[in-house]
């Protein structure tokens, strides 16, 4: 069977892989992108308001599920991962959050030299085409001509403004750009939507890359990385085809599939590989370890006025939303409907926000099931920096077998205290005068759920993943036994192989992970090309009273 050859082979047409392919093709290199999933065409992916559909469709989603979670009553949680052009950027909620400046300084201090905020900010700016929509913001901190369109919703529903005003009334700061100088506070939320359409990594990066004629997508399941001596030279597909790289192989298959592919290729914890009959090429204990995620709970309120998105929750209502989007690219279908947000600190002595809010003018689950009460609204809330860690391990040596995913949620005792704080702070926000005209009663957890034990029971039953897995091939110093890649994204212990996606995060960032994952792709491409952008001297805002005040 004839081999296919290019300068670079990128495994995974997801958020980071598309960015890498684009920058390499732009620089004149030939690129082959290996992707198991199919086309992202069709309204269910491209219509932002339909976001609950693609992440629940086997056509677009790998369909991974966690092992029973011991601290969540043995629940098995869905772990959606994009199996489609654009990867998880084609099935996610389209929320755009860079992360806090201190997140990246932590990466630098943990051994990822060159990945502090000063070094990553130029890449965030390079990738963005930011549109403030007349809502203010920090243009000096934002990018104006990158491939990734970042916009704000119209915020026509009064509940979006009630949420921000309630935060202000509760004593929190207001920020007009949480992706600018000041993350902390309440304000408008940003989304990767452009002209009413999901602006995924496939739309932003892969299509322009393919248009150069130097980037080709190869459909197939990556079975293992091929080596000559200790150098990665290509990727063997499950159907026997070999895709060869003249220069390097770049794995960008995501936080579940990247460690799986490394382990199937003999890179990982030696004893675990031997258990599955896999010859050990590089004994790297950190492969599959350090799995992190954001867990959240939906605090839901019944609404006293029929102004929520529930008005469209009928067959005719959904048909109207769909038709309006199809013909005009406007209306509730043209937004992810997360249009207000907040980042706050849980206690005095916490330097920067460790709680995130997504506000939604509808009481609904991610699977699209609306609350029985009808009209309602909700805040998704959860701690940002849990100390709990899980792992991704092989179920077998068969590349078609899903790996074992153990998040180990809520395994750190502090998680329980943090979650109770999240719920109580949210109730305080919903009790402000700004919501007086809109609130009826609490749906979830429920107004009678007050004691620590009752709150813990509600958390155990209702906490859900925010779908932000990361950290399973963490970046660090070459002499760090737990690191998998060095600060130039080279896999430690072999040559000719890089890895760049959210699995390299040393620690999870504040907020949703799509933006920092694309940034990793942008910066990794420059490492591959032997270049870098000059660091920024911008100084982020940190609350001057953080040592003594919670707000």
User: Could you confirm whether 149 is annotated as catalytic?
Assistant: no
3-state SS string for 173-231: CECCCCCCCCCCEEEECEECEECCEECCHHHHHHHHHHHCCCEEEEECCEEEEEEECCE
Nearest 5°: phi and psi at 32?
-115, 125
Query: Which residues are annotated binding-site positions?
Result: 84, 92-95
C-alpha neighbours within 13 Å on the C-beta side of residue 373: 22
Domain count, the chain: 1
Tell whether 211 is covered by a domain.
no
Query: Which residues are annotated binding-site positions for FAD?
Result: 84, 92-95
Report the pLDDT value the prediction gives residue 462, as an integer from 0 to 100: 95
Asked, as a colleague might, if the bond just before 445 is cis with ω within 30 of 0, I would say: yes
Given a contact cutoff of 8 angstroms between Cβ atoms, the answer to whether 338 and 361 are in contact is no
Report the pLDDT value the prediction gives residue 1, as an integer from 0 to 100: 46
Three-class DSSP category at 539: coil
Residues 6+ apart with CB under 8 A from 404: 67, 392, 393, 394, 395
Report the pLDDT value the prediction gives residue 125, as an integer from 0 to 100: 98
Report the pLDDT value the prediction gives residue 373, as an integer from 0 to 100: 85
Given a contact cutoff of 8 angstroms between Cβ atoms, the answer to whether 85 and 38 are in contact is yes
Q: Which one, of 66, 128, 72, 160, lies nearest residue 415 by Cα?
A: 72
Q: Whole-angstrom Cα distance, residue 8 to residue 30?
A: 6
Report the pLDDT value the prediction gives residue 3, as an integer from 0 to 100: 61
Report the pLDDT value the prediction gives residue 233, as an integer from 0 to 100: 98
Q: Whole-angstrom Cα distance, residue 476 to residue 488?
A: 10
Residues 6+ apart with CB under 8 A from 143: 124, 125, 126, 127, 128, 129, 130
Q: Domain containing 445: what range?
A: 154-188+295-383+410-462
Question: Within the chain, how many helices (H) and strands (E) appear?
Answer: 13, 25
Name the catalytic one among 106, 149, 358, 468.
468
Burial letters for 101-119: b for 16+ Cβ neighbours within 10 Å, e otherwise? bbbbbbbbebbbbebbbbb
How confident is the model over 152-161, as pLDDT tens digits? Answer: 999 999 999 9
Tell whether 373 is covered by a domain.
yes
Tell whether 90 is covered by a domain.
no
Tell whether 161 is covered by a domain.
yes
Tell whether 101 is covered by a domain.
no
Q: Which one, of 92, 95, 84, lies nearest residue 55 by Cα?
A: 92
Tell whether 425 is covered by a domain.
yes
Query: Can you list the residues of the chain whose pLDDT is less than 50?
Result: 1-2
How confident is the model over 270-317, as pLDDT tens digits? Answer: 999 999 999 999 999 999 999 999 999 999 999 999 999 999 999 999
Tell whether 126 is covered by a domain.
no
Size of the chain in residues = 551
Tell whether 84 is covered by a domain.
no
* CATH code where residue 444 lies: 3.30.410.40
Q: Whole-angstrom Cα distance, residue 476 to residue 107?
A: 8
């Amino acid at each position: 069977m004839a081999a296919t050859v290019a300068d670079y082979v990128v495994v995974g047409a997801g958020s980071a892989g598309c960015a890498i392919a684009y920058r390499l093709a732009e620089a004149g290199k030939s690129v082959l992108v290996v992707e198991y999933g199919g086309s992202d065409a069709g309204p269910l992916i491209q219509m932002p308001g339909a976001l609950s559909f693609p992440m629940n469709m086997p056509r677009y989603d790998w369909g991974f599920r966690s092992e029973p979670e011991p601290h969540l009553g043995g629940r098995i949680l869905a772990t959606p991962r994009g199996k489609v052009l654009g990867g998880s950027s084609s099935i996610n909620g389209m929320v755009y959050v860079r992360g806090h400046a201190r997140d990246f300084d932590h990466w630098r201090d943990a051994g990822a030299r060159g990945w502090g905020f000063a070094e990553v900010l130029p890449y965030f700016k390079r990738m963005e085409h930011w549109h403030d929509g007349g809502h203010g913001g920090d243009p000096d901190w934002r990018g104006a001509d990158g491939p990734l369109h970042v916009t704000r919703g119209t915020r026509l529903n009064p509940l979006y403004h009630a949420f921000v005003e309630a935060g202000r009334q509760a004593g929190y700061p207001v920020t007009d750009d949480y992706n600018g100088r000041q993350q902390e506070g309440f304000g408008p939320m940003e989304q990767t939507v452009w002209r009413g359409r999901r602006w995924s990594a496939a739309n932003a990066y892969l299509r322009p890359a393919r248009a150069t004629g130097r980037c080709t997508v190869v459909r197939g399941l990556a079975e293992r990385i091929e080596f000559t001596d200790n150098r990665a030279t290509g990727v063997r597909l499950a159907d026997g085809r070999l895709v060869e790289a003249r220069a390097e192989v770049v794995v960008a298959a995501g936080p579940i599939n990247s460690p799986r592919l490394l382990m199937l290729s003999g890179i990982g914890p030696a004893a675990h590989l031997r258990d599955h009959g896999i010859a050990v090429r590089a004994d790297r204990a950190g492969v599959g370890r350090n799995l992190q995620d954001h867990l959240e709970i939906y605090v839901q309120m019944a609404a006293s006025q029929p102004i929520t998105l529930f008005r469209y929750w009928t067959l005719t209502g959904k048909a109207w939303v769909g038709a309006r989007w199809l013909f005009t690219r406007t209306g509730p279908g043209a937004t992810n409907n997360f249009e207000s947000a907040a980042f706050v600190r849980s206690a005095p002595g916490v330097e920067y926000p460790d709680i995130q809010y997504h506000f939604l003018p509808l009481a609904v689950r991610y699977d699209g099931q609306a609350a029985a009460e009808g009209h309602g609204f909700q805040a998704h809330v959860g701690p940002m920096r849990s100390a709990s860690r899980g792992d991704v391990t092989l179920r077998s040596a068969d590349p078609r077998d899903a790996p074992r995913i153990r998040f180990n949620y809520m395994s750190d005792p502090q998680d329980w205290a943090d979650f109770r704080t999240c719920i109580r702070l949210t109730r305080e926000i919903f009790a402000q005068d700004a919501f007086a005209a809109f609130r009826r009663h609490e749906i979830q957890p429920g107004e009678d759920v007050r004691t620590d034990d009752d709150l813990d029971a509600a958390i155990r039953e209702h906490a859900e993943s925010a779908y932000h897995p990361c950290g399973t091939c963490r970046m660090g110093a070459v002499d760090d036994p737990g690191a998998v890649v060095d600060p130039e994204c080279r896999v430690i212990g072999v040559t000719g192989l890089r890895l760049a996606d959210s699995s390299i995060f040393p620690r999870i960032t504040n907020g949703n992970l799509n933006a920092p994952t694309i940034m990793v792709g942008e910066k990794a491409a420059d490492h591959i090309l032997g270049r870098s952008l000059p660091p920024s001297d911008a100084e982020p805002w940190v609350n001057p009273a953080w040592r003594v005040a919670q707000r």
